[in-house]
Amino acid sequence: MNKNCFHYIKRHFVFCKLAFLIFALHSFNCQSQQNMITPPYLQKGDTVALLATARKNIDDNLKPTIDLLHSWGLEAVIGSTIGLDYHQLAGTDEQRAADFQKQLDNPNIKAIWCVRGGYGTVRMLDLLDFTKFKQHPKWVIGFSDVTVLHNHLNTMGYKSIHGIMPVTVPRATPDAVSSLKAALFNEPISYSISPTPMNRLGSATGELVGGNLSILYSLLGSPSAIDCKDKILFIEDLDEYLYHIDRMMMNLKRNGCIENLKGIIIGGMTSMKDNEVPWGKNALEIIDDVTQKYNIPVIFNFPAGHIRDNRALIMGNTVSIEVTASGSTVTFKK
């Protein structure tokens, strides 16, 4: 073998090794991104922090929630934002961030339960440092505006719980309450839903993402925007104009989210509004219109969102959905 040939083979061998290493690292990185971290499930004696990240909570209305936690064998800590009154918000952005940060950093706090939604969580988000949270992950619970935190934690690789909040405990159905307990204590979660004519049949398995549609829409293009590829998307909303539902769905479509999904779950589309000149379709019909070209299963009227029967959903968890003519199932994998 001549010298030039030897050097060529040597260089080619080194190149192949380098290419293989890059491929292996890329595959490992992709695999790591798919393995969502599950915070420790709760045990009797654990402590849950109740705080406000958005709208103020100045009423004496947390006793039913504290009693519920005690019935589960848990303790409650009331955050410093409860009772603060800053216009619509539970204190300034800095005050709300400081309270949330304190509970994030405290290893004795095993879950943070946001007392209510409204608007304002996104205003404090960039003031938070998740360094200690990564060392001691914990459950973040809530819905509506708390979707900001669900999406941000998802981009970081952590699961969270979309479910009832302390101010909704008194009017929540027993099934909604028990589903939150199941999610927190690592009990099996599987939902069976009656058939709806608009459902699109099929089955799929993937990571559950999403939450409030308006929040998802507002986070697109930011570091907190979710990755829709190969995911199952859950959406719900409250008190929106119908044309705005269409605008938000079109935005998801044009951002490439819908075409990359494995399935869609639509929760409550509650108290929708229309203009003097009607839009012509209700919220479910709008969603159906935007998504019908995609060959994926879709569940309508799932019991979650701004409704009494707001079942708990572990965001970031792998779920399997099956939609048949006789009904639908949503099963959370362990």
CB 230 within 8 A of CB 259: no
Verify whether residue 12 is a known catalytic residue.
Answer: no
Q: Select which of 179, 306, 322, 328 is catalytic.
A: 306
Q: Select which of 236, 240, 244, 322 is catalytic.
A: 236
Alpha-carbon separation of residue 153 from 38, 51, 147, 161, 171 (angstroms): 11, 18, 10, 11, 28
Verify whether residue 306 is a known catalytic residue.
Answer: yes
Verify whether residue 80 is a known catalytic residue.
Answer: no
State both tokens at 205: 């398995």
Q: Select which of 144, 160, 214, 328 is catalytic.
A: 144
Residue 219, burial from CB neighbour count under 10 angstroms (0-12, 13-18, 19+):
buried
**Strand pairing partners for 315?**
160
Angle at the Cα of 211 from the Cα atoms of 130 and 39, rounded to 5 degrees: 40
Q: Report, as residue numbers or ranges, the catalytic residues.
A: 144, 236, 306
